[in-house]
Amino acid sequence: MSVKLKPVSEQTIVLTGATSGNGLATVREAARRGAKLVLAARNEEALEEIAAELRAGGAQVAICVADVASEEDVERIAQTAIDTFGGFDTWVNDAAAAAYGQMDETPMADHRRIFDVNYFGLLKGSLVAAAHLRTKGGAIINLGSVLSDRAMIFQGAYSATKHAVKAATDALRMELERSDAPISVTLIKPGAIHTPYPEHARSFMEEPPRLPAVMYDPRLVADAILFAAENPRRHLYIGGNGYMISMLGWYAPRLSDTLMKLVGRNAQTDPDQPTDPAARDNLYEPRKDGSVDGHQDYYVRQSSLLLEAQKSPLKAAAALAVGPLAVLAWAANRRGSTTKRS
């Protein structure tokens, strides 16, 4: 069965992890495009403030204070959408938790908590969404990572959950396709994105954690998510640097291991970067929210050619084909001009 998705302007979109980073960037852009929104997160104060901001701009918004690690909370998110808007068209699993540190430094309880949020919360959300969308159709969009492809040293627990997220997303997609359910299932794979991720993560490192360079704007992730809400895609990468990490892991795993052992710690810590104590470590309790961008001062790329190529593969292929021809034409013109002058 072919999957037909509505324009974002005609959709009701459910999004977890809505109060910061990629999630907040997405809800703001979705509201700008006219979507109805159901925002879910643990931080009630931040949810209320964001909802008020969006409603002031004319958006229709419902909120649900929820911890996706609770199955009952995830079901309440869906019920909020049904009670308020009669249902939903796209479900975005964006909520995440993280920790920096060696595997043996991270307590088992923290490993379990990260899995409860990143994997089991996403799995429950995906299954709830699939049950609702099985007859009417729609999109399930899961936030993975380039770390779904290649584990990062000192982010072992997070990397493990993102590997699991990829497997669960692929399995669910196959099962829905096998039953001809009109549901698109997309895995979004960002590279390093300039969000409050390192500020919110629990850290067992001596220096303040950071994301490795090069970082990309969270609004690019929002663009990818909303593109997937309208256009069925298997996966979308954001950031060529992150994709190179994935490729290195596929084709040269030992070299990738060696590089991470050499530079992985320095690339993920920065003693000169200030951190906001009010935002630090939200693993078990919500902390300061409401910011799309991280507060650490680094260069941030505002565009991703790789993302654009995935959104318009025919245009990308044409550009690759026309590019060399244009160079040849330019060279031929130049030779002609030189001949005439001589």
Catalytic annotation on 197? no
Q: Residue 200's closest CA among 100, 338, 118?
A: 100
Q: How many helices (H) and strands (E) does the chain have?
A: 12, 11
* Residue 62 backbone dihedrals phi, psi, to 5 degrees: -120, 150
Helix or strand run (H / E) with residue 183: strand 183-190
Among residues 130, 123, 124, 136, the alpha carbon closest in space to that of 11 is found at: 136
Contact status, residue 41 vs residue 15, Cβ threshold 8 Å? no
Point out the catalytic residue in the list 100, 119, 158, 197.
158
Contacts of 9 (CB under 8 A, 6+ apart): 33, 34, 35
Here the tokens at position 250 are 């596929």
183-190 and 90-93 as β-strands: parallel, antiparallel, unpaired? Answer: unpaired
With tokens 């001949």, the residue in question is 339
- Half-sphere CA count of 173, side-chain side, radius 13 A: 19
Q: Write out the catalytic residue numbers.
A: 158
